[in-house]
Structure 1
Amino acid sequence: MTILNTVKYYINKEDFDWGRRDITLQLFHPQFELCYAINGIFFRNRESIIRKCFLDGQLLIWKLCWYWLIFIFWVASLYISNTMFYLLWQSIFATVDEHTVRPLMFPIWLPKDDPNRTPNYEVFLSFEILLIFIVICTFGLYVYILFHLLLHYYNLIDVILIALEELFDGLDVSAATLPREDPRRVAVQSELNARMGRIVRWHLSIFDSVDTISSVYGPMLVYQVMFSSVVICLMAYQVSEQLSAGKFDYLFGILTFGACVQLWIPCYIGTLLRTKALSLGDACFYCGWHSTPLALLVRHDLIIFILRAQQPVAIKFTGLPELQLETFSSIMSTAYSYFNMLRQYNSE
């Protein structure tokens, strides 16, 4: 119980000094050194709502990242430990003869040969353990980095929403009726332009970053979407075959669940990102411009921003539909069709 409490304490950052003035993202995410330069977010202003919103979002990212990493290491350790314990039990207590089948993490078939004889068994067992570590270090970290970046910019949209709500706060309303050359109007105009410029920079950075993510991760996402239906189908078929034989292969069941989760994560976050980005237009329209004459000073900027916000933020690549829940639903339907086809073929 102490270990669980320690892990929970670490993930929730209960020892983090939220009131310190020198907070940086490198301090908050000490193991991440990517994509941290966000202009205009002032961490030293402890009274800022933007600061609290951004750090709360980063804390959520921190927790979800650790939950995902713990999950994939747990699945990998289950596969290795289950095989090793069963092999140990077989070596100590079981009666070994030429018909004894030694356990493998994944079933293997060889034409005109027995995969359980020495040295085939030792080679395949070592290869499968190595394969599990390769999957953890590549695919597991790939999914984590992808949804970390997407959540990072989803959090930035929340910051933009707050900035829109505070666009006209604390400004001299009477300055809007003054001549253009009046120092008071010039000062208010400069402050409004700075606030609006910051919002526009954040908004453009989201489009640029998502486009960059699409170009970098696009090829891998295409393969992930293309082959996930086949992989999920084969795993589900393995589980169903074991159930037909009166057994339940819980390891393959967990692996099937993990295969669904690794596809659901980017699709779900892609939908959240798209929906939240489209809400920026409504947030700008209801930011209070109709109740203050200061809107005359930035009316063209507001109109351009609302028009720009109608463009959806989506992860797209050649050969890849937009990454959203509709994509996940389509892939699962395809996997279920393949699964039914295999079951029908096997029954015949």
Structure 2
Amino acid sequence: MYDHSKSLESAIDGWNYSIQLNRWFLKPIGAWPLALCETTTEKISCVILSVISCFLICFLLVPCTLGTILVDTDLDTKIRMIGPISFFLMAVIKQYILIARSERISECIRHIRADWDRVRMGHEKDREVMLDNAKFGRWLSFVSAAFMYSAGFFYTTLMPLCARRTEIIDNETVRLLSFPIYRGLLDPRTTPSFEIAQFTQTLAGYAIYTLTIGVCSLAAVFVMHACGQFRILMLKLENLADGKKRKSTSGKTAQERLSDIVKYHIRILSFITRTEELLNEIFFVDVVGCTLNICFLGFNMMTEWEHRETLGTMTFCSLLISFTFNIFILCYIGELLAEQCTQIGTKSYMINWYYLPDKSALGLTLVMAMSNATIKLTAGKFMELSLASFCSIMKAAMAYLNLLRTFYV
């Protein structure tokens, strides 16, 4: 006899496993949807964390921007600060989008939970497919977090402590912060102002890194879930005409199974559409921002190398790898999703459709037509995310880097 309590627990565990990293990354910065918070205390804490996160990001963006623009500094310092300021601005925009679209995020997560609930009774093969894709989505999130946090540790924590970041003002040696602050707002040259400002900047840096990882994790988990659903749809297509009956299709006619396939396909496409509408502006911010950041990080790394600064070279190299991998993940999952969409049409033709009774095979033409009109991830509707797009982004970043080097030299 089938254990329903065990199957329900298994479905809940699978759903929690799928979105666990999303919750870990989004909750500390207050970007987790309030609709998914179970208690009033959890909702209040989420709002408080959101306010704190916004304050920390603004603490970096506003004083740093004013200090770079209003203070008379050399051209090299101003150029080095363009990258961090653009990164802070990216964080502000992404934080706003995540909070403003929290309801859409909760809808997508509920969709994922409904899919896991569906496979809790006699769908062991489907559950294995979903679990495999959930594991890959978690792995992408973990690798992104490892690169971003390690690079952030070098830049925000290790480099200020180990590097000789000092300047002489009125015959007095003054320590410099990780990021410049406009002294018309705050003068951090004395103790404990320096320690407080340095700690706040470090905390704000990790909030921004967590936000960047959270967006990448959200995209990876959603897209890999959709890819898992496509693989399940292919299993349904195989079962349509080969006569092999699974528990999920026992007693159903070919027309009923075809109807189930069409409905399932429409459900997947609706989920992808919601994901695209939710994240396309964030993808646009990431594409533009990462292109600039890769350019300036490459410039800073070469500058540190020429000055024989080992720690600075390692720091900017780790940041360069992190941003490159981040944009690669977005382009890779976009390519993977588009490929899965088109494979449905190929699979519809490759099955033994000519064994279907009457004119049931004509219904597959609708599935083929829908698979040809693939829904792709885009960067603000301007650029499709694919491996070709990744190459274009890297070429653009290198072109800007060569132009910057030519101008600077």
Superposition TM-score tier, normalisation by shorter sequence: 0.7 to 0.9
Q: CA deviation at 1:75?
A: 3.2
Deviations 1:264-323 (A, max 9, x none): 111111011101211111101011123x2x243521211211122111220236552111
Contact 2:335 2:386 in 1 (8 A): yes
Cα distance in 2 between the residues matched to 1:101 and 1:202: 65
2:198 to 115, 125, 130: 125
Change (3 A) 1:42 1:29: closer
Counterparts of 1:109 and 1:240, CA distance in 2: 25
Q: Does 1:286 align with 2:350?
A: yes
The answer to whether 1:323 aligns with 2:391 is: no
Matched-pair contact (CA < 8 Å) for 1:161–1:283: yes
Distance 1:317 1:72 in 2: 21
After superposition, the Cα gap between the structure-2 partners of 1:109 and 1:242, relative to the gap in structure 1 and judged at 3 Å, is farther
TM-score relative to the length of structure 2: 0.64
Aligned equivalent of 1:28, options 11, 14, 18: 14
- In the other structure, the counterpart of 2:150 is 74
Contact 1:146 1:266 in 2 (8 A): yes
State the distance in 2 between where 1:27 and 1:171 align. 30
1:232 aligns with 2:294: yes
Matched, 1:334 2:396: yes
Q: Could you tell me which residue of structure 1 aligns to residue 281 of structure 2?
A: 219
Letter in structure 1 aligned against 2:289: F
Aligned to 1:152: 225
Q: CA contact under 8 A between 2:342 and 2:374: conserved in structure 1?
A: yes
Equivalent residue number for residue 361 of structure 2: 299
- Higher RCO (C-alpha 8 Å, min separation 6): 2
User: Are residue 256 (structure 1) and residue 320 (structure 2) matched?
Assistant: yes
User: Is 1:264–1:328's contact at 8 Å kept on the other side of the alignment?
Assistant: yes
* Residue of structure 2 in register with 1:175 after alignment: none
What stretches of structure 1 move > 6 A for 4+ residues in a row?
A: 109-112
Q: CA RMSD in A?
A: 3.4
Larger radius of gyration: 1
Change (3 A) 1:101 1:238: farther
CA distance in structure 2 between the aligned counterparts of 1:216 and 1:313, rounded to whole angstroms: 14
Task: Give 1:98 shift.
Answer: 5.7
Equivalence for 1:5: none
Q: TM-score, normalised by structure 1?
A: 0.75
1:266 corresponds to 2:330: yes
For the residue of structure 2 that corresponds to 1:167, the secondary structure is helix
1:148 is displaced (CA, Å) by: 1.0
Structure 2: distance between partners of 1:237 and 1:39: 47
Structure 1 residues 295 and 260, CA gap change in structure 2 (3 angstroms): farther
Distance 2:357 2:156 in 1: 64
Whichever structure has more helix as a proportion of its residues is 2
Q: Paired residue for 1:43? A: 120
User: For the structure 1 residues 234 and 143, does the alpha-carbon distance in structure 2 shift closer, same or farther, using more than 3 Å as the test?
Assistant: same
Aligned AA (1:38): D
Match of 1:58 in 2: 134
Match of 2:272 among 210, 223, 236: 210
CA distance in 2, matches of 1:99, 1:242: 26
- Which runs of no fewer than 5 residues in structure 2 stay unpaired? 1-5, 24-35, 37-108
Q: Is the 8 A contact 1:278 1:312 kept in 2?
A: yes
Alpha-carbon contact 1:41-1:51 (below 8 Å) kept: no
Change in Cα spacing, 1:247 to 1:24, as seen in structure 2 (3 Å) is: same
- 1:165 is matched with which residue: 221, 232, 238? 238
The count of aligned residue pairs is 302
Identity among equivalent positions (%) equals 19
Tell me, in whole angstroms, the C-alpha distance in 1 between the residues paired with 2:298 and 2:172: 28
Contact 1:233 1:335 in 2 (8 A): yes
Kindly tell me: are residues 286 and 23 of structure 1, through their superposed partners in 2, closer, same or farther at Cα, counting changes over 3 Å?
farther
Residue 8 of structure 1: aligned partner: none
Q: Distance in 1 between matches of 2:15 and 2:176?
A: 41
| Deviations 1:139-176, CA, capped at 9 Å, x for gaps | 2211111111011101111111122112224469xxxx
Query: Is the Cα contact below 8 Å between 1:101 and 1:116 reproduced in 2?
Result: no
Q: Distance in 1 between matches of 2:308 and 2:379?
A: 44
Task: Determine if contact 2:383/2:389 at 8 Å carries over to the other structure.
Answer: yes
Do the aligned residues in 2 keep the contact of 1:278 with 1:309 (CA within 8 Å)? yes
